[in-house]
Amino acid sequence: MSIAERIRQHSPRPATLKKAGLCTALGLALLVPGLSGLQAKLDESAIYEPVAPTIDQARANILIARQLQFTHFRNLGISDELSGDVFDAYLDYLDNQRVYLTQQDIDALSNVRNRLGSALKTGQLQPGFDIYNLVQQRVIQRLQFALSLIDEGIDNLDFEGNDQIRVDRSEAPWEADSAALDQLWVKRIKNAVLAQRLNGTEDDVIEENLRRRYEGQLKRAYQARSEDAFQAYMNAFTGMWDPHTSYFSPRTSENFNINMSLSLEGIGAVLQSDNEYTKVVRLVPGGPASKQGQLQPADRIVSVAQEGEKPVNVIGWRLDEVVDLIRGPRNSTVTLEVIPANASDESVTRSIDIIRDEVKLEEQSASKEVIELERKGQDYRIGVITIPTFYADFQAMQAGDPNYKSTTRDVRRLISELKEDGVDGVVMDLRNNGGGALHEANDLVGLFIDKGPTVQIRNANNDVQVLNDEDPTVVYDGPLVVLVNRMSASASEIFAGAIQDYGRGLVVGSQTFGKGTVQAVRPLNHGQLKITQSKFYRVSGGSTQHKGVIPDIEIPSRIDKTRIGEDALDHALPWDQIEAVPHNRYFDFSGIIDELRERHEDRFATNPEFSLLQKEIEFLTQQRQMDYVSLNHAERKDQHSQIENTRLTIANARRELRGEEPFDTLEDLEQWQDEQAADLDTTDDELDFVIREGGHIMADLLELDQRTASILSPTQFAAKAETR
């Protein structure tokens, strides 16, 4: 039986479809099956027009295939095995939660699975477009079913049984057929209704919200473009090499900054497509979202509302369209409805108001403060330098401005000021620093060492380039602690890794992101290809890729490492190592590291702030590990109350530590959070205990080995250093 016949067999009642006379390469029938049970109220004027590849796209496909095979860092050929992986990745992109296609559809496509590779080599795009068209029509069917269900009235839904729904269906089996999908979608609607009811929303408002959501998605499905299919297909293909290699359509290429940061009259966030959602990757330091404080990495955007207007549901929208909606005039307000990264399921959302503005360079600048500690009758003054990003004003630099701003120049000045303040040690805070200018990481290392290599860069031909600090001047020779977390990436990892390899200081915090690759953007006849061409290696030979930097002393973090980080990405390049390059080892911490860790653990065992952090991490972990949620109203309400009570208890315990009045209800807490976020002049010192702990570790260093101060003086470097 042919594929076309099999799909027709599973598509007994096709919906309205324009007769395009399309004869596909693989004979896939472009049909939408009818609805079992409830019948969708079809808009007879709405016609899905199957998208088809263009000659320009076919040529771009051939160029992409050649670039991937011959210039990418990973040596990977296009084989039958790769073809199957592309097929799976493409379906994962188009139907990640497995709510549109059935097992019957997958079976009908089975003989396509191992034929995509050879087709992609030669620019034969029709197989990928056939799959895309089929999925779009299944999407239309499902959304029509959802709207029909809502039209029947949500008061007819049963919330008293034992139904439950799986939270994450990305690895669930495909539903057998359309009837099974109907049952699943009834549960999805019930879950969405129940979540809003528990938040106090009236049924008529819930119906309006859901109808607007699904009508918006349906409109997008009917407006599918050829470029949508091509970009999705190419990114499933390029993603086989690594997650940072991707295709940019001509529209995206023209607005490349969209993929880097929404800094110009936007919110200052790096966004990317994540299946049907637009996901926050990271926040731009100094940007409106970062200063507002509520938007977090891994949050997924559900809707966008302009000031005084109704929200627009953006599930299923293209990234560039979501970006256009978020952008707007400076000082205007945009409201994002997001699914928080720590939400128990996709029905839990919150709204965040952000005032648009430009990201100013001075607001990304390094800053300093001095903390004072009293230990056994002895006072310590610890300088803290916070570096949000590795920046440089390239325009001012090229113009010859002697006072141009850069990370290294600013830190040099701050260190000088801290010396005048008489600090006993310096803590460099690189938490949430996503990287930036590579040469700044190189130069910054140079402020703390005599001279020598800082990072190695290896390309696909195994040629290794070594970046060096050539300046023998040492700006700071005292004890040093570097704070990192999971959001410390790229240039931050290069700096932290070099400091660790040189024995120049201790790295404290949590395992870093693991972004150790270098990309280049190459023009095509149609759009651009961002391709991984090199890999970073530490001076000790180990890569920062995948593994990141492992701290000498670990502090747990709220961030979910299974969802954020290089090792959480599909097809990420592995960790490996090359030969070390000769470098000095200024101090060997092995003799005191166990005692340092023991002291740290003893402090944290009695630290009420750390105890609260542990409770919060345990709470968030439990939320993330929930496989199913109940669709029984009473059970769900009880679960909802438990979650709210836990959040309130943790927040009030933290307020009690600060000598502040507790909140009576969760609504009071959320209102206060909104007020704090709206007032950009206020700061939350919730995590200051981590900085203070860095100061205590510094004091431990000084107490355990009084030699540290002299060993780290520049006059002692040659005598005390070990060459490796």
Question: What pLDDT does residue 706 have?
Answer: 60
pLDDT tens for each residue of 581-615: 999 999 999 999 999 999 999 999 888 888 888 88
Q: Which one is predicted more confidently, 27 or 347?
A: 347
pLDDT tens for each residue of 291-334: 888 898 889 999 999 988 888 888 878 888 888 888 888 889 99
Going from the N-terminus, what domains does the chain have, and what CATH number goes with each? 3-238 (no CATH), 262-355 (2.30.42.10), 362-607+689-723 (3.90.226.10)
> Does residue 83 carry a pLDDT above 90?
yes
Helix 80-94 with 226-238: angle, nearest 10 deg: 130
- Where do the H-state alpha helices sit in 583-715? 593-605, 608-624, 633-657, 666-678, 688-704, 708-711
Q: Which one is predicted more confidently, 109 or 44?
A: 109
CA–CA separation, 120 vs 313, rounded Å? 34
Cβ(97)–Cβ(275) below 8 Å = yes
Select which of 303, 347, 490, 630 is catalytic.
490
Q: Which one is predicted more confidently, 84 or 622?
A: 84
Question: What pLDDT does residue 660 have?
Answer: 86
- Nearest Cα to Cα of residue 326 among 372, 360, 362, 287: 287
- Nearest Cα to Cα of residue 221 among 47, 22, 11, 339: 47
Reading the block at residue 160, the tokens are: 């008293």
CA–CA separation, 598 vs 588, rounded Å? 18
Q: What is the mean pLDDT of residues 507-513?
A: 97
> Does residue 618 carry a pLDDT above 50?
yes
Cα of 291 vs its chain's centroid, Å: 18
Q: Which is it for the CA torsion 565, 566, 567, 569, positive or negative? A: positive
Helix (H, G, I), strand (E, B) or coil at 134: helix
pLDDT tens for each residue of 170-203: 999 999 999 999 999 999 999 999 988 988 889 9
Question: What pLDDT does residue 21 have?
Answer: 31
Helix (H, G, I), strand (E, B) or coil at 39: coil
Question: What pLDDT does residue 259 have?
Answer: 37
Reading the block at residue 88, the tokens are: 């799976």
Looking at residue 400, the DSSP 8-state letter turns out to be T
Confidence grade of residue 7 (pLDDT, cut at 50, 70, 90): very low
DSSP-assigned states of every residue in 233-256: HHHHHHTTT-TT-EEE-HHHHHTT
CA–CA separation, 590 vs 345, rounded Å? 45
Residue 671: Cβ within 10 Å count: 12
Q: Which is it for the CA torsion 351, 484, 679, 407, positive or negative? A: negative
Select which of 130, 357, 501, 552 is catalytic.
501
To the nearest whole number, what is the mean pLDDT of the chain? Answer: 85
Question: What pLDDT does residue 652 have?
Answer: 87
CA trace torsion 513, 564, 246, 24 (10° rounding): 160
- Conformational region of residue 509, where left means phi above 0, alpha means psi within -120 to 50, and beta covers everything else: left
CA–CA separation, 239 vs 275, rounded Å? 14
In this structure, what are the phi and psi dihedrals at residue 200, rounded to the nearest 5 degrees? 90, 15
> Does residue 44 carry a pLDDT above 70?
no
Concerning whether 515 is annotated as a catalytic residue, the answer is yes
Sequence-ordered strand ranges (E) for 196-276 = 246-248, 269-274
Select which of 368, 515, 547, 720 is catalytic.
515
Q: Which is it for the CA torsion 132, 137, 143, 146, positive or negative? A: negative
Residue at token pair 């092995």: 590
Question: What pLDDT does residue 252 have?
Answer: 66
Question: What pLDDT does residue 684 have?
Answer: 45
Q: What is the mean pLDDT of residues 482-504?
A: 96
Confidence grade of residue 513 (pLDDT, cut at 50, 70, 90): very high
> Does residue 38 carry a pLDDT above 60?
no
Span between the terminal Cα atoms of the chain, in Å: 67
pLDDT tens for each residue of 200-242: 889 999 999 899 889 988 988 998 999 999 999 999 999 999 9
Residue 224: Cβ within 10 Å count: 20
Q: What percent of the chain has pLDDT over 90?
A: 56
> Does residue 671 carry a pLDDT above 70?
yes
Helix (H, G, I), strand (E, B) or coil at 466: strand
Helix (H, G, I), strand (E, B) or coil at 280: strand
pLDDT tens for each residue of 682-709: 444 444 788 999 999 999 998 886 644 4
Residue at token pair 């206020």: 682
> Does residue 39 carry a pLDDT above 70?
no
Q: For the chain, what percentages of helix, strand and coil (3-state, to nearest 5) are there?
A: 40, 15, 40
Cβ(546)–Cβ(567) below 8 Å = yes
Cβ(58)–Cβ(65) below 8 Å = no
Q: What is the mean pLDDT of residues 157-170?
A: 92
Residues in the chain: 724
> Does residue 553 carry a pLDDT above 50?
yes
Question: What pLDDT does residue 359 have?
Answer: 67
Reading the block at residue 37, the tokens are: 């049970």
pLDDT tens for each residue of 348-379: 788 899 998 876 655 678 999 999 999 888 89
Residues pairing with 585 in the sheet: 722
Cβ(249)–Cβ(262) below 8 Å = no
CA–CA separation, 156 vs 152, rounded Å? 7
> Does residue 100 carry a pLDDT above 50?
yes
pLDDT tens for each residue of 404-415: 889 999 999 999
Cβ neighbours for 325, distance < 8 A, ≥ 6 positions apart? 304, 312, 314, 317
- Conformational region of residue 15, where left means phi above 0, alpha means psi within -120 to 50, and beta covers everything else: beta
pLDDT tens for each residue of 111-137: 899 999 999 999 999 999 999 999 999
DSSP-assigned states of every residue in 339-382: E-TT-SSTT--EEEEEE-B---GGGGS-EEEEEEEEETTEEEEE
CA–CA separation, 199 vs 193, rounded Å? 10
pLDDT tens for each residue of 460-492: 999 999 999 999 999 999 999 999 999 999 999
Cβ neighbours for 258, distance < 8 A, ≥ 6 positions apart? 252, 271, 319, 320, 323
- Nearest Cα to Cα of residue 64 among 239, 228, 227, 229: 239
Concerning whether 121 is annotated as a catalytic residue, the answer is no
CA–CA separation, 66 vs 54, rounded Å? 19
Question: What pLDDT does residue 710 have?
Answer: 43
Q: Which one is predicted more confidently, 681 or 185?
A: 185
